[in-house]
Chain A
Amino acid sequence: MDTILEIKNLSVEYQVGKKIIPALKNVSVSLNRNDSLGIIGESGSGKSTLGLSILDILPKEAKISSGEILFHNQNIFRLNKKELQNLRGGKISVIFQDPLSSLNPVIKISEQLRETLKVHNEDSSDNKIKELLEMVQLGNFDRIKNSYPHQLSGGMRQRIMIAQALASRPEILIADEPTTALDVTIQKEILELLKKLIKEFDLTMIFITHNFGIVYDICSRIAVMYNGEIVEEGKTSEIMKIPKHPYTKALISVIPKAGQKVKKFNVI
């Protein structure tokens, strides 16, 4: 199998005032074509930082202190401006957690999609935008075309984010907790949509989440992060069967299972 993304010994630190806080410590992980890797961990474990560093879009306070990220054997930290811009949203796309705050509130939906298409030299006609929206199962083009983000529901906005991310037919899609901010029913719909699109677009996927249930459903491999380190990595089925790290065990124990009686919570 060919490896398309390889993260080697990556360390990232955040500088807060004079304090230096390590966010990632020597993280190494690699991704084969058509893999879907679930990165799972609690808040502050560094999983989102890992996602942002793959596109080199970390905030200013963050510093990459060591390591490299190879995309098709090319270190992305050595790319020039133009190559980096082609990579971002072109070869590698990202979907963020909160679909409301990830769309610009003062620009119409259709213009935001058009912008992405233009940046990556794709056809940016109304027809193409309509096609993109249909791809994410948003049919009512005439209404959505002239809408601003706040006029749409959370699920619709997340679909638009997905359309935007896939506009340039990327090879890798990074989904940073794409369903956390949504209702459970909408979560399911979005996950089904993602699954369908992964097949359609032949995508390699990195799925960042803190929800083991979702990972089990969608990912073939799992990396568990704890305190900035990958503490366990392997095939989903194996990790689910024999979790080694105590944090992994704890995560698996809280997955609600169908048919299982819920223990009564003791109320004082």
Chain B
Amino acid sequence: MLKIYLEKLLRNKLAIAGAVIIIVLVIIAIFAPVVTMHNPLEGNILERLQAPSKNHFLGTDEIGRDVFSRMIYGSRISISVGIIAVSISLIIGTFLGLISGYFGGKVDSIIMRFVDIMLCFPSFFLILMVIAFLEPNIYNVMIVIGITSWTGLARLVRGETLTIKERDFITAARGLGLRKRRIIFVHILPNVISPILVSSILGVGAAILTESGLSFLGLGVQPPIPSWGNILTSGKDYIHIAWWLSLFPGLAILITVLGWNLLGEGLRDVFDPRTN
């Protein structure tokens, strides 16, 4: 089973491109101290706003810090925020979706009405509101993105659960005397895992974008800790004289989100039984 999927995945060029982008990024993030030549937090004020050169690949910012180093360290933030936020929403969304779909009735109504209420708010506005009450730092950003982005997944899992639970093997499992908990997590969950996987991988891209947006607005990762979003913020004031400050973080966000989206879309094709 896994082998068939893997072969299908390897034939999908876009998915491979996405996977390569992500793998390269993760490797760079892990080996950040080896890759960079300068300290991302300390700069030489005399070298401020220098254009890209041999010494500073992507130039320097307004207080002379190396933009390349800051971006590499910033990738750690983006990737970890993306993955952890999605893990949180994955756990909440899958759990509530399964419960809602399997039990139906009142439990389903309560969970789904709550999802409807959550969906009434623009999610970015919701995140801004929560962050305003909490201290804006990387951990709060992860948690807040996680607990505001599970609704779509919960709906998706609920829908899948509704179709799976009508299948004969679930009746058979009940007939064999299995407990509900076991039926839900051992018999239904593995059958709904592929849409969960696709939606989560697409979700990582979205979470990275949200984190960048929050940091850009000054509500995410706080300076001097570098993140792609806050490098962009400081860049916007100098956009006429130092284009590299805005261009490179922007490109980095674009490529990263593109990578996750390509992989997500590719996996969707792989899991789709209609494609061969």
A57 touches B1 (CB 8 A): no
Separation in Å of the A90 CB from the closest CB of chain B? 6
Would you call B39 an interface residue if the criterion is a C-beta within 8 Å of the partner chain's C-beta atoms? no
Separation in Å of the A84 CB from the closest CB of chain B? 8
Contacts of A97 in B (CB 8 A): 168
Would you call B177 an interface residue if the criterion is a C-beta within 8 Å of the partner chain's C-beta atoms? yes
Separation in Å of the B216 CB from the closest CB of chain A? 42
Give the CA-CA distance A148 to B166 in the complex, in Å.
Answer: 20
Interface 1/0 per residue, B167-182 and A, CB below 8 Å: 1110111111111001
Interface 1/0 per residue, B185-228 and A, CB below 8 Å: 01100110000000000000000000000000000000000000
Contacts of A124 in B (CB 8 A): none
B175 nearest CB neighbor, chain A only: A94
Would you call A131 an interface residue if the criterion is a C-beta within 8 Å of the partner chain's C-beta atoms? no
Chain A interface residue count, CB cutoff 8 Å, equals 32
Given the interface contacts A105-B191, A106-B191, A107-B190, does A89 sit within 8 Å of B175 by beta carbon? yes
Contacts of A105 in B (CB 8 A): 169, 191
Separation in Å of the A199 CB from the closest CB of chain B? 23
Best-surrounded residue of B104, B166, B178 (most CB of chain A within 10 A)? B178
Give the CA-CA distance A93 to B171 in the complex, in Å.
Answer: 12
Give the CA-CA distance A105 to B187 in the complex, in Å.
Answer: 9
Contacts of B177 in A (CB 8 A): 84-90, 119-120
Separation in Å of the B151 CB from the closest CB of chain A? 25
Interface 1/0 per residue, A74-106 and B, CB below 8 Å: 000000000011111110011011100111111
Contacts of B182 in A (CB 8 A): 115, 119
A88 touches B168 (CB 8 A): no
Contacts of A19 in B (CB 8 A): none
Separation in Å of the B193 CB from the closest CB of chain A? 8
A104 touches B191 (CB 8 A): yes
B168 touches A101 (CB 8 A): yes
Give the CA-CA distance A164 to B167 in the complex, in Å.
Answer: 18
Best-surrounded residue of B105, B174, B178 (most CB of chain A within 10 A)? B174
B1 touches A148 (CB 8 A): yes
B1 nearest CB neighbor, chain A only: A148
Contacts of A101 in B (CB 8 A): 167-169
Separation in Å of the A188 CB from the closest CB of chain B? 23
Interface 1/0 per residue, B103-117 and A, CB below 8 Å: 011000000000000
B176 touches A104 (CB 8 A): no
A103 touches B175 (CB 8 A): no
Contacts of B178 in A (CB 8 A): 85, 89, 115, 119
A103 touches B1 (CB 8 A): no
- Chain A, range 115-134, C-beta contacts under 8 Å to B: 115-116, 119-120
Contacts of B1 in A (CB 8 A): 106, 148
- Chain B, range 121-176, C-beta contacts under 8 Å to A: 166-169, 171-176
Best-surrounded residue of A85, A86, A103, A104 (most CB of chain B within 10 A)? A104
Given the interface contacts A86-B177, A88-B177, does A107 sit within 8 Å of B172 by beta carbon? no
B179 touches A104 (CB 8 A): no
Contacts of A241 in B (CB 8 A): none
A57, A84, A116, A165: the one within 8 Å of B171 (CB): A57
- Chain A, range 28-73, C-beta contacts under 8 Å to B: 52, 55, 57, 59-60
Give the CA-CA distance A25 to B182 in the complex, in Å.
Answer: 34
A167 nearest CB neighbor, chain B only: B176
Given the interface contacts A60-B104, A105-B191, A106-B190, does A119 sit within 8 Å of B176 by beta carbon? yes
A88, A98, A107: the one within 8 Å of B175 (CB): A88
B169 touches A103 (CB 8 A): yes
Give the CA-CA distance A165 to B104 in the complex, in Å.
Answer: 28
Contacts of B169 in A (CB 8 A): 101-105
A57 touches B174 (CB 8 A): yes
A55 nearest CB neighbor, chain B only: B175
Q: Which B residues lie at the A interface, using CB under 8 A?
A: 1, 104-105, 166-169, 171-179, 182, 186-187, 190-191
Q: Which A residues lie at the B interface, using CB under 8 A?
A: 52, 55, 57, 59-60, 84-90, 93-94, 96-98, 101-107, 115-116, 119-120, 148, 161, 164-165
Provide a sorted-by-A list of 28 A–B residue pairs whose CB atoms are within 8 angstroms. A52-B171, A55-B174, A55-B175, A85-B177, A85-B179, A88-B176, A89-B175, A89-B177, A93-B176, A94-B172, A94-B175, A96-B175, A98-B168, A101-B167, A101-B168, A102-B168, A102-B169, A104-B169, A104-B187, A105-B191, A106-B191, A107-B190, A115-B176, A115-B186, A119-B176, A119-B179, A120-B177, A148-B1
Besides the known contacts A89-B178, A106-B191, 6 further A-B residue pairs in the complex with CB atoms under 8 A apart: A55-B174, A85-B179, A87-B177, A101-B169, A115-B186, A120-B177
Q: Which 6 A-B pairs have the closest CB atoms?
A: A89-B176, A88-B177, A89-B177, A101-B168, A85-B177, A106-B190
